[in-house]
Amino acid sequence: MNYQVHPSAIVDDGAEIGHGSRVWHFVHVCGGAKIGRGVSLGQNVFVGNKVIIGDLCKVQNNVSVYDNVTLEEGVFCGPSMVFTNVYNPRSLIERKDEYRDTLVKRGATLGANSTIVCGVTIGEHAFIGAGAVVQKDVPDFALMVGVPARHIGWMSAYGEKLDLPLKGDSEVTCPHTSDVYTLENGFLIRTEAI
């Protein structure tokens, strides 16, 4: 075994966990889960059968990653944030065949106590503020806050707010990485420094 599992954790047979990953106290990883390398699953995390977690993700304490959720490389899930997988759940009505796919793209941050309603895509390096409720797709690099979540700005891949308008055409250089961010037609594009 090339990953660490705390004695209180349960990893069901069949689960795939990558090199250097850490599974902490009271975690349950179901047998169909696919977890990349260098992943950290904090205390009391649940990972469902139909879940893919990419390399270098950090899933903080008390997060349940339910079926049909995919986290690409480097996603941060803050403490007690919430995923759903059924849009209109009822205890007395079975809806497991109605799960909606949720995709969180590379480098995104999902703040503490945020809620991601199933069926949405969170763009690359997007930043969801603490307590926000996301009900629709989020563009790459977007900063989203509130209930329901609304777009209030742009974030760099480094994790700093960019001095850009929400709309129009504009450009800014990240002072930490020298990457250039260009806003065109409501989309932010990053050109990495050479």
Residue 73: partners with Cβ closer than 8 Å, 6 or more residues away = 36, 54, 55, 56, 57, 106, 107
Predicted pLDDT of residue 3: 97
Confidence of residue 188 (pLDDT cuts 50, 70, 90): very high
Helices (H) and strands (E) in the chain, counts: 0, 26
Asked if residues 70 and 101 have their Cβ atoms less than 8 Å apart, the reply is: yes
Confidence of residue 1 (pLDDT cuts 50, 70, 90): confident
What is the per-residue DSSP string for 75-112?
A: -EE-TT-EE-S-SS-BTTB--GGG---EEE-TT-EE-T
Domains annotated for the chain, with CATH where assigned, are 4-163 (2.160.10.10)
What is the per-residue DSSP string for 27-80?
A: -EE-TT-EE-TT-EE-TT-EE-TTEEE-TT-EE-TT-EE-TTEEE-TT-EE-TT
Amino acid at 38: G
- For 121-173, the pLDDT digits (tens) are 999 999 999 999 999 999 999 999 999 999 999 999 999 999 998 888 899 99
Does position 107 have pLDDT exceeding 80, yes or no? yes
Q: 167: which 2 tokens?
A: 């709309």
- Residue carrying structure tokens 């903080």: 60
Average pLDDT, the chain: 96
Please give the model's pTM, rounded to 2 decimal places. 0.96
32, 38, 42 from 70: Cα distances, Å = 13, 16, 18
Asked if residues 107 and 74 have their Cβ atoms less than 8 Å apart, the reply is: yes
Residues 32-38 have a mean pLDDT of: 98
CA 3/CA 5 separation, integer angstroms: 7
